[in-house]
Amino acid sequence: MSNLTVFQSVHPIGDTDFNALPVKEFGPAIGYYTQVLGFSLVEKQNEKVILQRDDVKIGLACNGNDPEQASCYFAVSDVEALRRELHEKGIEPSELRVDDHNGTKYRIFFAKEPYGVCFCFGQPA
């Protein structure tokens, strides 16, 4: 991935802990996050993995939680470019749309990783 889009920050949606995103097993999840989403492996412990892209750090955890119940928002520098990057990698991101959050309009799209976690990517409109 060219990593032209800068990941600026990450925020939980609901009660998701983005420092412990649930996965069933590390191997395939690390492959997805590094090869598809452009993260780098920073640290691997027995029960937790730390990944980073630009200034954003997230954690993966084999903690028994349901990945289908986890989601987070990534603020990015170029939402259109990231959507194209993911589409070219075979991901099926949602269409771009404009949402209002606390009085600010954001251009966003959603993508679900194959293990269940849902991501929202966006930038101010």
pLDDT at 3: 60
- Establish if 83 belongs to a structural domain: yes
**pLDDT per residue as tens digits for the range 65-103:** 999 999 999 999 999 999 999 999 988 999 999 999 899
Judged against a pLDDT cut of 80, whether residue 118 lies above it is answered with: yes
**pLDDT per residue as tens digits for the range 1-50:** 446 899 999 999 999 999 999 998 899 999 999 999 999 999 998 889 99
pLDDT-derived band of residue 114, with 50, 70 and 90 as boundaries? confident
- Establish if 66 belongs to a structural domain: yes
Q: How far apart are CA 59 and CA 12, in angstroms?
A: 12
- Establish if 2 belongs to a structural domain: no
CA distance to 17, 38, 71, 105, per residue, from 5 (Å): 23, 10, 20, 20
Number of folded domains that form the chain: 1
Q: How far apart are CA 9 and CA 6, in angstroms?
A: 9
pLDDT at 46: 83
CATH number, residue 58: 3.10.180.10
Pick the closest to residue 66 from 116, 11, 12, 10 (CA basis).
116
Q: Which domain holds residue 76?
A: 7-124
- Establish if 1 belongs to a structural domain: no
